[in-house]
Amino acid sequence: MESLRDCNTSSSTTSTPAFHTLRQARRATLNRVFAAVYSCAILALLYHHAHKLIHSTSLASFFISLSLFISDIFLAFMWVTRQSFRMNQVYRSEFPEKLKEVVNESDFPALDVFICTADPYKEPPMSVVNTALSVIAYEYPAEKVSVYISDDGGSQMTLFALMEAAKFASHWLPFCRKNNIVDRSPDAYFASNHTPCSETEKIKIMYETMKIKVDNVLERGKVDDDYIIGEEERTAFTKWTNGFTRQDHSPVIQVLLDNSKDKDISGHLMPSLIYVSREKSRTSPHHFKAGALNALVRVSAIMTNAPVILTLDCDMYSNDPQTPIRVLCYLSDPKIQSTLGYIQFPQKFHGLNENDIYACEYKYLFIANPAGMDGLSGPNYVGSGCFFRRRALFGGPLTMISPEIPELNPHHVVDKHIQSQPILELAHKVAGCNYENNTSWGYKIGFKYGSLVEDYFTGYRLQCEGWKALFCNPKRPAFLGDVPISLVDGLNQCKRWAIGLLEVVFSKYNPMIFGTRNIGLLMGLAYAHYSFWPSWSIPTTIYAFIPQLALLNGVSIFPKVSEPWFFLYGFLFLGAYGQHLLEFVLEGGTIQRWWSDQRMWMIRGLSCFLFGSLEYLFKHLGIPTTGFNLTSKVVDDEQSKRYEQGYFDFGVPSPMFVPLVMAAIINLAALVRGLTEAFMGRKLEELFVQVFIAGFVVVNSAAIYEAMVLRSDKGRMPIKTTSFSIFLALALYVLFSLTLRN
């Protein structure tokens, strides 16, 4: 098996043009100047708060001043940590055509692809099939590619779908080669404006037939005998006995394609395709996705042990067949190869509606911020679309940690056939649920345990060990994925992130301490910005209720319009939002999507960040919680129609909607009270800031009012949620009013 070192040697023995370039963002200097000015303004604001706090004349005024002080401390902290992304943004370009002219295909390193799925009903098998086929069809030597599917749900329906995909691949791969197809996910290709011809229609009929069979099996909930062809398939499904459940079963490893012998209809070898369902037991911890990935690291080490690993979510298909060649543009550079741990591509999505109402694009998380971290030590790992050096999972660049058996060593050369009995026996052993006991897996080697956000935690820990990373963002997206099309799915996903991030904050690996000590101040602040995301709930909740409740009681808590401090508030607000808008547009966004993005940050602060923080607290107090939830990738037709039309979907009841409705009601009432005061010519100068904040929240809550009052479809706000929220809003108003009077 060729190593990365072999690839380097081939590309560096002669004088060759650069395979990649780097340029710094022109706005970096302006960002630094603005940061200095804005920091002075923040210090002035905190001084103003401290002064008011010291000179409070009553318990109520002290409480309000303290609340605003705490709120602005959190906002200031999050703003400061965010500046780490803006200090040295860089942009990279790769030249894969130049590399192919210099490096022989025979010198390309082998590639293992990991695709993870866990529930056939939330992550449809056809989505897994399309992702698998898109990477099987890479423009890369087939004998060097092995695709591993981790099925943590242990579903025979998923295995059946992949068996059908393996058969279809023998027709799909030659079709893509012959017609120079770029969209190598069949679903994406047939949905595009492809050129119709008899050959295309023939392959499309084959795909639709496969899809019908897979959907029928999924609907039945099992694979009936009439769908099984051949003794080999029948033997594979005998493992699903009556005692086989998704939480308790023995390991299943099935080689569906073997790149040493299986050929397509044109006589070309096809990449290997291996189904893996690790052993599960109700009495053994399984560590969610990180545990599944580590099982794949071990199984793949036994079977192929490629020096490069690509991790993908099951709904994140390849959108560019030359992506591995782009990666080699960096891996074959001897100047950076020794410390290069991984190369992260941005997560981009298809199917976003025009204004991205749920802000699922996450332009900062997946594009702007990684470019800023790339100018430091490299971007964070975001769970999908990432190419790892296998060696990076086994200790730092200078201190390799050897695994417990030599066959798992990243430098081990596999010299047996992947379907030989010794290989399969050892692969089943390392996929066992108790194999990791008394080993370093998940703690010193492999993907890291200790947080629900295993991607963030693993990338962070690898960089603390001394590895560097690169951000590769080509014009044509390398990968495209699905997005949640209901609000509750998007919020549940974000709540899971919030819990995982807090697990990092309250561990010995806190980025403010452990991070800054090991990777430097700016990188530590960058990782701290993410880990403290849930703290957005504190200032958001305070600013969503306290100024408005004070306004309803006719109490002014901000400077008058005629006072100098008012202009400080104006500068801080306009400066933050103006910079946010400018960056968003410069990264290719629109003003409408920027508005959706800032609106969703307010919504998340009052819902998933707040509830994620509470769930983390309850968990550590021993109070039962709902636990880990997958984000559904199943698309409901009515739900999809509402999403395309730009309507928020509140149809699935959730306690996370209650604070949103409460804030909408209280802010609307406060705005009416403030405008009434203005119309009557009283106190407008004193209450202007509070009226503005209430109006800002009301405008951002338009979708909530619409769902509460105007809509009659299934996506409207549940009546029980509205009624309960109104009751709580009234109770909060009464309690606040009594506090002011006392």
- pLDDT tens-place string over residues 376-414: 999 999 999 999 999 999 999 999 999 999 999 999 999
Would the pLDDT of 14 be above 60? Answer: no
More confident of the two residues 310 and 640: 310
Q: What confidence category does residue 11 fall into, taking pLDDT thresholds of 50, 70 and 90?
A: very low
Model pTM?
A: 0.94
User: Taking Cα atoms as reference points, which of 383, 358, 641, 363 lies closest to residue 489?
Assistant: 358
Would the pLDDT of 553 be above 90? Answer: yes
Would the pLDDT of 111 be above 90? Answer: yes
| Beta carbons of 495 and 615 less than 8 angstroms apart | yes
| Beta carbons of 408 and 254 less than 8 angstroms apart | no
152 in a known ligand binding site: yes
The pair of structure tokens assigned to 236 is 């594979």
| Beta carbons of 122 and 630 less than 8 angstroms apart | yes
The span from the CA of 492 to the CA of 502, in Å, is 15
313 in a known ligand binding site: yes
Q: What is the pLDDT of residues 46-87, one digit of tens each?
A: 999 999 999 998 889 999 999 999 999 999 999 999 999 999
What share of the chain in percent tops pLDDT 90? 88
The span from the CA of 360 to the CA of 362, in Å, is 5
More confident of the two residues 742 and 167: 167
Q: What confidence category does residue 6 fall into, taking pLDDT thresholds of 50, 70 and 90?
A: very low
The span from the CA of 68 to the CA of 46, in Å, is 10
**Tally of CA atoms within 13 A in the half-sphere of 569 that contains its CB:** 19
Q: What confidence category does residue 446 fall into, taking pLDDT thresholds of 50, 70 and 90?
A: very high
Would the pLDDT of 671 be above 50? Answer: yes
| Beta carbons of 304 and 408 less than 8 angstroms apart | no
More confident of the two residues 15 and 103: 103
Give kind and range of the element (H or E) at residue 147: strand 145-151
pLDDT score for 684: 83
pLDDT score for 708: 95
Q: Is 529 helix (H, G, I), strand (E, B) or coil?
A: helix
More confident of the two residues 17 and 506: 506
pLDDT score for 629: 58
pLDDT score for 9: 38
Would the pLDDT of 5 be above 60? Answer: no
Q: Which residues of 28-59 are buried (b: 16+ CB within 10 A; e: fewer)?
A: eeebeebbeebeeebeebeebbeebeeeeeee
Average pLDDT over residues 158-173: 98
Would the pLDDT of 636 be above 80? Answer: no
The span from the CA of 604 to the CA of 359, in Å, is 11
Q: What is the pLDDT of residues 590-608, one digit of tens each?
A: 999 999 999 999 999 999 9
Would the pLDDT of 229 be above 80? Answer: yes
Helix ranges restricted to H, 476-590: 487-505, 516-519, 521-531, 537-552, 564-586
pLDDT score for 18: 86
Would the pLDDT of 677 be above 90? Answer: no
Active site residues per annotation: 152, 455
Tell me how crowded residue 629 is: count the other CB atoms within 10 A of its CB. Answer: 12
pLDDT score for 634: 57
Q: What confidence category does residue 637 fall into, taking pLDDT thresholds of 50, 70 and 90?
A: confident
User: Taking Cα atoms as reference points, which of 632, 631, 665, 715 lies closest to residue 357?
Assistant: 715
Write down the mean pLDDT value for the chain. 93
